Each structure stands twice: as C-alpha cells, then as structure tokens.
Structure 1
C-alpha cells in the first residue's frame, strides 16, 4: 500500500478502485448468489451453520415478515441485544425490506437507550430476552415505536422465529434503492461530546467493504475462517463481517473476546484470521489457558482502536507465532478503517497509509493550516466512506468537515515522509501539564514497560 505525499497531503496510489454504485441489498444478494453453497456464518457457541444461500433465504424471509408487519422503505428499525447471529438476519432483512437500522449496543443503560431511540424514532425494535425489559421500558415513552420483535419468546412481543418462518413467496418487490440512502445509524460521541447518530449510507458501507477487500493489500481470502468477536452493533464488527462475506470467507461469530471464549473457538474451528483490540490481545497472550489450545492455525491478526505496545507485539509473534500483524485506523464517522499497515510491517505503532480512494492530512489545531511530515496536529480524512453527518444535528454536522471537505477525526497525530500515519491521542483527552500537552497514551505505554 504505497502512499503519495504531496502538497502536505497523503493519498493512496490506488485511485481507480471500482466501487459499485448499488444499494447494499442488491450488493448483498449478488454476493450470496455467487458463493451460495459455501459456509458463510457459524455460531461459535451452538455450532449452528449457515451457507450463503441460507443467509440470503433467511434474510429474505425476515424481510417478508417485516413487510407483513407494515414495515418498509423509509422506516427505521432499532436493535438492542447481546451478540447473536440473529443480528445478521435482522439487519439484512431490514435492508432487503427497504428500511434502515439503528444499532444500540447492549451495554447501554435504559436512559441512554431512551435517548438514542427517542432521537432516531424507530417504528419497530428488535431485542433479545436479556434486554427485553429494558427495551420495553425505554420504548414505552417513544410514540414512534409500534412493534417490538424479540429473539426468543415474550408476551406482547412478535417472535423473530415467526419472521424467519415467513414464506418466501410473500416477499414483495421493493424499489431498488439509492446508494445515498441511509442504511445504518450508530451512535458515537462523534469527535467529542454527547452521543450523536452517525448516518451510514449504502454507499458508505459498500465503499468500506470494497476498500477493505482490495486484493492489492488484503490478507484474507475465501478459504479463510475469520473469528468475529467485535459486536455487530459496532462499526468495526459490522464492516469486518461484511468484508468476510464479500470475499466468500466464513465467519465464526462469538459473544465476546475473553480468552475463555476465543481460545477454544480458534482451536475448534482452526480460525486463520482474528481481529481484536490490543487490550484483548494482551489478555490472550497472558492467559494461562493458552497452553491448553492449539492456535497454530492463525496466520493474520488485525487490530485497531489503539496502538499495540512493542512488548505485546513480541508476545504475539513468539507465543502465537502469528507472522502478519496489520493495524487499521478509522472511526464510526468513516464507516470503519481508512488506513492500514502493510502485511509485512514490523511497526505496530503506526496505523499505516490511506486505503484506496482516500486522502489524509494533518492540520494545526488552532489555525487549520496543513502540516508537513512529523508535525503534530489533527488528522483529517476525505474519501468515499466518510459519512454525510449526524442525525438531527446540523450544527455538529457543519463542524465535522473543513472548507476542503475533509472530515475532522478529533485525533492528534502525524505522518512520515513515506506517508505512514501515527495517532498520538484524542484531542479532548490531552493532559495539560504546565505549558505542555501530554498524551495519555504515552503515559500508558510507559506504565506497560
């Protein structure tokens, strides 16, 4: 992934990537039809498996069931549950019915859930039994919510099983959809502040998949088995799953990233690619359970969220014998990764170079002037995965972009003469000491040594 550095901007050399101008539903359908007999998804707890053909069929049945409930184009479905493969069918069922989804992570309190659904105004909400009471209570005050659908059984709630059993012949045609259509809402603190509904369009999601699956730099293929530990309600979990199915690979979905969950799954399914944050990786290499399982199948580790301390990277290479470590960098507002380190990189501090069709720069936090190599400032990005803005928040949306159309990430960092980027810290988390700005990440790294 060579980069071009010119006029105090860094861009990928790849500016000709073919990104289909289609609705995600059409894109998903074509993928499933291409790999129909291959295994797409495995429940890492129950061992239940679904082929690509079954993935499309069940999602289509859910879409038909949603239509019978009066749900369709222009409407929004909420989702609040723990990790389960049913999220996949609920999301793509919603997409195939012409609707959109707001993802509300299961760790939210009732107050936080009420805020997110009150702001986004879904007409239908999916939940599981563990979060049913919280969801019902939160939605009781939101007039837009007409239907609650549960992954399980609960009185006065529609059973998701019933939707999955809807005859395919009852699926009604829906408009093909616009690539600019809102498809997913994920609440984020934005670059700073109170949670805002980040609007992910079909174009953003399809572009994100295409960038991650660019054969010129990706390290996973159709014969790989990916371990899915990131929640599908988080942008990283959603994009990694979409990237997995886009190349015809198989994903083993797990409810968490604890060593007691991931190590047995790696051994049982012979996972070849794992994706985790550095803190979880650190737990993995330090776990006393490690010696009980065969993890030799893993050849690629993707990580992000923060840099990996060199001591942890060494442990990964020696204890897990993983040769390829790649760090991605992105945020909800960029629909996932916008940069990635090369597969042969030994530098686990860098977040890599821009992905295809993506431009990045660093600006002075006070003047907004573009900075040169190794000068610290705010990282800004421009590309097809950057979202249009925040739901119901024009003021925050206006502040998201600069006059040149670059998105403010809120991250402090710099780039080298070769176009490799480094993230120092979040702008609002910098610690002021005397007349100096100290990055918490630097202190954390010192404490780990």
Structure 2
C-alpha cells in the first residue's frame, strides 16, 4: 500500500517538477548596493553579488562569499552563511520532497479528525488548480482567489493549488466582518472560497460589494453552490496543466496588514519573496523543525490563523515543506487546545504572547500535555520574558524557547539561533538579511545599544502595497531599505530587541515611554492577567500613560499596581493617566493588542 501511495505522489507531482526543468541552466544574479547616510556615496563594502544557477541533475548551486558582521556605517549583516535561494515558483518549492512522506498525514482537523495525507493533499492541489484553469479566461493568469475560512485541512489545498497555476491568493480575516467587502473590492477577487459556516458572512459582503463574485463553499452550501471537497475528491476533475512556468515576480499571496495602527493594506508577496524566505528561515542555524524521515514526523498546532503571515508562512508553508503534520483548529477553546496537545503529541508549539501566557499559567494545560514539546516559538508581538520563564519552569523536559521577528511586509527577518536563548530578544538576522537602526528624527544609522527605527533589506521583501503607491514610497527609502516603524535596539552580539511601534510611543514632557515596557512589568504582578497601555492627553505633560488591566482576582486595587510600579520605573513612566479595570482587551485573532481601539476606549471616557 505504501509503495502504491508513493507511486501516486510521484506520478501526480511530476507536473510540478516538469515546470522546474524549464529553468535548467538559467542563471540569476543581482547586485545590491546600499548607502549609509553617515558615509555619503555608496561604498564597495556594501556591494554584494549573488550568483545562483540551477542544474537539473545537481539542484541549486549558490556561489557567494560568507558575510561577516559589518559595523562600519552601523549596517549589520547576518552572521550565518547564505543559503541557496530557489528559482522556482512557490508551490513546487514547498512540495519538492513530498514523495518522501506521501503516506504521512499532512493536515488534520483537531475537531472532526478529517485529514489528508501528503499524497492526497497534492492530488487535491492538482485538481483544484485544474478547475481554476478550466474556468479562467486567461489560463496563464487565473486572477485572484479569496479565502474566507478559519484554519482547516483544505486551506493549503486552495492556497497552493491556486498559486500553482498563477493565481494570486488573498487571505481574508473573518473577524473583521465590516471589512470583508472592502477587502474583496480592493483585492479584485474574482472567486471566493468560503467555509460553510461563514457563507452568510459572504452573502452579506457580496451585497455590499454590488458585483458578482462566484463562490465555492468548503462543505455543503445552503445555496447550492459548488462544494470544494467534492471538487478535489472527484476523479473526473482533471489535473492542472503546468505547461507554462509561473513568473517569479508574480504576486503569490496578498494578505492584508493587521490594521492595528491604521486601515489594513494589501501586501503584495511574490513567489520569489516567499520561496526565498522559506529557504532563509530553514537555515541550519535556526530551524528546529526536523524534516520527516522514517517514522519521525514533527507535529505542529495549526491554531494561529493561516490568513495571517505567521500562520501562513511559519506554520503552514514551512511545516508542509518539512513534511510535518499540522493539526488545525478553527478557533481557540482551552480544553480542546489542551486535548490536541496531548492526543497528537505536538512537538513544535507556535504561540503569540497571550497564548504563551495561557499555556504557562493555565491549569487547563498540564505539564503532561506538553511532554512531547521540544520547541516553543513566540512572535507577532514583544514577548514577556516572565511568561517564557514560567513556561520553562512548568515542564520537566528541556524546551528550546525561540523568539522571532517579521512583518507581513518583510516576512521572517530574525530568529533565535539554536542553543542560544536570550529571552527578551527576537534573535539574530537570518541569512541574506541586513539591518540598521536609525535615529528617529534624523534618520542616521546608530551604533549598537542605541534605540531607533529598525530598517531591513533582504531578497524577501514585499513588492509593495496593493493599489497604494504612496504608502509603498513612504516605507521604502531610495536605497531599497524597508522602514519597519518599529523601535528596536541591537546589542554587540547581534541580538535585536523590539521596543515598540513608533506610532505607539507615549511622549511625556518630550520623553518617550514604551507601552510594551510598562506592560511587561505589570504582567509580573501576580494579580494581573493581561494589560494594555495607551497614552491620554494631559495639559501639563502633553501625554501620560493609562493602564487597562484584566485582573486575576477582584481583590487587586489601583493602589497595589501604583505601588508595584513605583520603584521599578522612572517618574515620567508612572501611570499618571490612571488605571482602569476591564473584563477583556481588544485584540485581533493572532492576539495582538488593537491599540487604536484601546485609544478610543481611553478617549471615550
């Protein structure tokens, strides 16, 4: 049986590999020149040549000198050797080694147990792509497919099947109900795939949109629409025909920024950018998810939403590339989360700070539930070191706690190296990545230890904001550096720490106060379950911090927190704006605090 399944994978996946063979012998080279504002004209020290050639029999060969930490001009380059960058569209890159683990489970629903092996996943991808090609007016560019669904086993089938035939996939955040119509309109989606329970949301959005968009439903439709599961299971649905190579500069994914500090913007991520970043992320110095081999297979929790860049790239795309089993959960329920941890023996656990705090502190998750976890990764927001320490103390076995940093616009740029934990820091630069910290006012590069705006340069940056040239121009400078809008600091060892968003800093009498710093300190109080800090207007100071606190018990009082904070921070960082106790904080589906809404709460008083 196993050999038959592997044969199926080999025969169906030959379509993917055939498209790659057209690139045999094609060379790719790019020169990157950066210019430090402190040094004037461009310097040869920053001129880098990359040479990559694909040979059908040898794979990818990369010739490039190993870069060392660069300090002149305060530009920092990754200390890790460069890795080969793929010269194929994303779908073939992800499933290049799928024949090795075709019989293993690729995705499984944590609630229903509905699952797909890797061979079945590839089969579904091929049939979904074939369906898109049949309905497309232009087979070389089938348009934009929108996915409105929680995490489910079929999500990667639609995602990789669509981009595999040249379509762009735009992932819709189902939590922002009023934004769905605007998202569909701005992205230009010409096909919508929706989870059955969300079909009413799609109906409402399409009425606002006022244009026809065909809909495919993942499951039985209340309106007799096509059923995704029937399409990908129907042997009469022809496989996709990968005769023409998808251009590497074609936009593969169009996720939208989270909108925590402004309206969501479409982020254009090309095949080249995402494929490059997966290779950069999988470098031997930071990746701790081993490839499937023999009886070994890593198990990942697919809770963090696939429509968000963390879930899309770090969990779904990376996990499938490594042959991992991904157990999907459409929503967070404490008991179900704990059950999946234990039943499926999750080995690599991806978290965000609120989820990390839950795992570390909640009795719903026992040390036994975490007994198979060897790596815990946390990102999407600054990580409270106290929560990380609490988790490590909770379990009996050694756990590698790995922090990372990335954005929808930059993908993954920083990771904690294996065996080099440094809590409170988001790690070091991944291969092919450069960074600098610049003065918030002057824009000049700063030395290690100084706080300023983080700027990055890599071959995995977005192509730009969709339909928003002005916003694109505002975040890229003339030398191609992307300005992240994050205040950061880099130490002498090359570790970076994210302090806060520039727009979120509170200015008290001209002095900058970081909300994240105050939040981390307050979270160490045993009576605080969660906290959010925002600035409120003040006649004398201009602005002062106010705390919105979720209590662990009702006995906690304002004066307790004022006393706790009093000796730990400078006078201008005290909570002069007061403390408000609330039942919950406004957050997006990845657990990121929605500071705009927090600010509205403060202004509305």
TM-score (norm. length: structure 1): 0.94
Aligned equivalent of 2:148? 80
RMSD: 2.1
1:147 aligns with 2:237: no
Residue 176 in structure 1 maps to residue 245 in structure 2: yes
Partner Cα distance (1:192, 1:186) in 2? 16
Distance change (3 Å), C-alpha of 1:82 and 1:317: same
Which stretch of the first structure deviates more once superposed, 306-315 or 409-418? 306-315
1:6 CA drift (Å): 1.6
Structure 1 residues 294-443: aligned runs within 5 Å: 294-321=369-396, 322-335=398-411, 337-443=412-518
**1:159: which partner in 2?**
227
1:127-182 CA distance string (max 9 Å, x none): 11222112122123446643111112221522112321343672342421111110
Deviates more, 1:14-23 or 1:287-296: 287-296
Return the alpha-carbon distance in structure 1 between the equivalents of residues 333 and 375 of structure 2.
Answer: 19
Shift in CA distance, 282/172, structure 1 to aligned 2, threshold 3 Å: closer
Contact 1:152 1:159 in 2 (8 A): yes
The answer to whether the 8 A contact 2:95-2:321 is kept is no
Q: Report how far residue 48 of structure 1 moved.
A: 3.0
Q: Is the 8 A contact 1:364 1:370 kept in 2?
A: yes
Q: Deviations over 1:246-298 (max 9, x none)?
A: 12222222223443232111111111110001211111122122238532111
Alignment counterpart, residue 303 of structure 2, candidates 212, 224, 229: 229
- 1:66 CA displacement: 2.5
Q: 1:412 is paired with a residue of what secondary structure?
A: strand
User: What are the ranges of 5 or more consecutive residues in structure 1 without an aligned counterpart?
Assistant: none
1:27 equivalent in alignment to 2:93: yes
- Pair 1:306–1:292, CA change in 2 (3 A): closer
Between structure 1 and structure 2, the one with the greater Rg is 2
CA offsets, 1:10-43, max 9 Å, x none?
1112353101111113223423234322322222
Q: Secondary structure at the match of 1:327?
A: strand
Partner Cα distance (2:229, 2:207) in 1: 23
Distance in 1, Cα, partners of 2:378 & 2:191: 34
- The one of 90, 103, 106 equivalent to 1:40 is 106
Q: For CA contacts below 8 A with separation 6 or more, give which structure has more relative contact order.
A: 1
After TM superposition, give the deviation of residue 77 of structure 1 in Å. Answer: 0.7
* Distance of 1:342 and 1:13 partners within structure 2: 11
Q: Secondary structure at the match of 1:4?
A: coil
Q: How many residues align?
A: 447
Is 1:102 aligned to 2:167, yes or no?
no
Equivalent position of 1:134 in the other structure: 201
Structure 1, 256-265 or 119-128: larger mean CA deviation:
256-265
Distance 2:217 2:101 in 1: 30
Contact 1:63 1:93 in 2 (8 A): yes
Describe the SS at the equivalent of 2:404: strand
Whole-Å separation in 2 of the counterparts to 1:207 and 1:31:
17
Whether the 8 Å CA contact 1:307–1:348 is kept in 2: the answer is no
Q: Does structure 1 residue 14 correspond to structure 2 residue 80?
A: yes
Alignment CA distance shift 1:431-1:147 (3 Å): same
Which of 175, 187, 199 matches 1:120? 187
Q: Which runs of 5+ in 2 are unaligned?
A: 1-66, 292-296, 525-605
Runs of at least 4 residues of structure 1 off by over 4 A?
Answer: 189-192
Distance 1:424 1:3, change over 3 A: farther
Matching residue within 126, 135, 139 for 1:69: 135
Partners of 2:181 and 2:231 lie apart in 1 by 25
Change (3 A) 1:246 1:311: same
- Compute the displacement of 1:299 (Å): 0.9
Cα gap change, 1:107 to 1:190, in 2 (>3 Å): closer
CA distance in 2, matches of 1:252, 1:189: 24
- Equivalent residue for 1:291? 366
